[in-house]
């Protein structure tokens, strides 16, 4: 073994035994001694911590088994290997010591060659365990770092893709960020609701927020003369405009098919893109779904999307006040929107206003 010598703590209430072990070990190791269990625990919890403890079993007040139990209960000392050194030589005693967590068992009177061999063996094992633990910690850190990087790349890619659609409609500005936070707010508010608790856990809420910016990705397929028209659309133009919902879900479905494994947020993004223009009473598009047949993710997005559209200026309309938008949303409870989602909106109206202000145009 190279580097600084290992530190060994020897514990025995008999001075002669401490002296014998100390003289044997000092030529090769840094030795510390304790003549009681209490003192041994103090040293073990100090700095530097011992690399190995040779622990007498039969001691007054606090015997070796008690000391070992305390060492194992304490995070700072629970991995320090302990060798029992005792005059007890019964098999039952040895088994009990090993069951309690000792790594080895040496009987008195000690035989120097045996003590040195077992000490060296346990120190080598501890060094190997420490190296493995450090490597595992490093690998876990690297995996976490890579996952964070991949997550960031994924999030940026999603926003970049969503903003690509927005370049066709320059008036939307921070619409993506606002609707993303509206959806997150509604989902968090409803996570304990009996109608939504089965669906809205932490992972799903995070995926909902991630997928929300893709709700209008299908607009890339709508001709400019319709998408950018500065006024009301004709019935024929509305037919074409409404195809953006299916265009978006089809594009996301193709991305799902190209993926080597299932990606949860894409499944939610596909639902949102396809169904966020459905209405609670069945009068929406593209499939005319009603009530609970509309996916929860799309119901959340529907309210978020309409609220933001109402409070934002367009070439064909002025922006409404927050209160005017609230009146329209609440008035459409049970017709356009799920009533419980409207209630969550009402409960979090101040939060909605704060989000709109934070990501204003």
Please give the average per-residue pLDDT across 130-149, as a whole number: 81
CA–CA–CA angle 330, 334, 337 (5° rounding): 70
Residue 140 has pLDDT above 60, yes or no: yes
Residue 36 per-residue DSSP state: S
Orientation angle between helical segments 243-258 and 264-275, nearest 10 degrees: 170
167-358: CATH, from 1.10.3210.10, 3.10.20.520, 3.30.540.10, 2.30.40.10:
1.10.3210.10
Summarised one tens digit per residue, pLDDT across range 20-63 is: 999 999 999 999 999 999 999 999 999 889 999 999 988 988 99
Single pTM value for the model: 0.60
Summarised one tens digit per residue, pLDDT across range 305-352 is: 999 999 998 767 789 999 999 999 999 999 999 999 999 999 999 999
Collapsing DSSP to helix, strand or coil, 174 comes out as coil
How many other CB atoms are there within 10 angstroms of residue 140's CB atom? 10
Q: 116-119: list long-range contacts, CB under 8 Å, 24+ apart.
A: 116/24, 116/25, 116/28, 118/83, 119/8, 119/25, 119/29, 119/52, 119/54, 119/83
Q: Do domains 7-139 and 167-358 have the same CATH topology?
A: no
The tokens for 268 are: 């939610």
pLDDT at 55: 93
pLDDT at 228: 82
Summarised one tens digit per residue, pLDDT across range 141-162 is: 888 777 777 666 666 666 666 6
Q: How confident is the model at residue 1 (pLDDT cuts 50, 70, 90)?
A: very low
Please give the average per-residue pLDDT across 165-170, as a whole number: 61
pLDDT at 257: 82
Specify the residue for token string 């999030």.
155
pLDDT at 146: 77
Cα(212)–Cα(176) distance, integer angstroms? 8
The tokens for 343 are: 């209630």
Residue 84 per-residue DSSP state: E
Closest C-alpha to 44, from 74, 13, 14: 74
Summarised one tens digit per residue, pLDDT across range 176-207 is: 889 999 999 999 999 999 999 999 999 999 99
The domain defined by 7-139 carries CATH number 3.40.50.2300: yes
- Whole-Å CA distances, 73 to 84, 142, 154, 317: 18, 30, 42, 69
Please compute Rg for the chain using Cα positions: 34
Where exactly are the structural domains of the chain? 7-139, 167-358
Residue 173 has pLDDT above 60, yes or no: no
Summarised one tens digit per residue, pLDDT across range 243-287 is: 999 999 998 888 878 777 777 778 899 999 999 999 999 999 999
The tokens for 302 are: 């529907």
pLDDT at 155: 67
Q: Quote the mean pLDDT of the chain.
A: 88
Contact 143, 134 (CB under 8 A): no
């Amino acid at each position: 073994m190279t580097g600084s010598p290992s530190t060994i703590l020897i514990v025995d209430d008999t001075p002669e035994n401490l002296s014998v072990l100390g003289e044997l070990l000092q030529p090769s190791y840094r030795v510390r001694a304790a003549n009681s269990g209490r003192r041994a625990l103090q040293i073990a919890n100090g700095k530097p911590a011992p690399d190995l403890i040779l622990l007498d079993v039969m001691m007054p007040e606090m015997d070796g088994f008690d000391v070992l139990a305390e060492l194992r209960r304490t995070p700072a000392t629970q991995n320090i290997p302990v060798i029992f050194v005792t005059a007890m030589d019964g098999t039952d005693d040895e088994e009990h010591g090993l069951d309690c967590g000792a790594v080895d068992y040496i009987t008195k009177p000690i035989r120097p060659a045996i003590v040195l061999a077992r000490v060296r063996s346990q120190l080598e094992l501890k060094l190997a365990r420490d190296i493995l633990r450090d490597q595992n910690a490093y690998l876990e850190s690297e995996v976490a770092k890579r996952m964070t990087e991949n997550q960031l790349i994924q999030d940026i890619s999603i926003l970049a893709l969503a903003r690509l659609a927005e370049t066709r409609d320059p008036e939307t500005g921070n619409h993506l960020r606002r609707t993303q936070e509206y959806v997150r707010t509604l989902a968090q508010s409803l996570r304990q609701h009996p109608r939504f608790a089965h669906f809205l856990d932490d992972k799903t809420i995070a995926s909902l927020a991630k997928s929300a910016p893709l709700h209008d990705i299908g607009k890339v397929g709508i001709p400019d003369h319709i998408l950018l028209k500065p006024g009301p659309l004709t019935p024929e133009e509305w037919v074409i405009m409404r195809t953006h919902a299916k265009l978006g879900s089809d594009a996301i479905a193709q991305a799902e098919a190209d993926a080597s494994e299932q990606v949860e947020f894409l499944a939610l993004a596909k639902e949102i893109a396809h169904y966020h223009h459905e209405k609670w009473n069945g009068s929406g598009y593209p499939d005319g779904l009603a009530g609970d047949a509309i996916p929860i993710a799309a119901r959340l997005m529907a309210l978020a999307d309409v609220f933001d559209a109402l409070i934002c200026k367009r070439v064909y309309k002025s922006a409404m006040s927050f209160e005017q938008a609230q009146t329209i949303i609440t008035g459409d409870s049970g017709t356009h929107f799920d009533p419980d989602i409207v209630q969550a909106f009402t409960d979090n109206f101040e939060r909605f206003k704060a989000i709109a202000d934070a990501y204003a145009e």
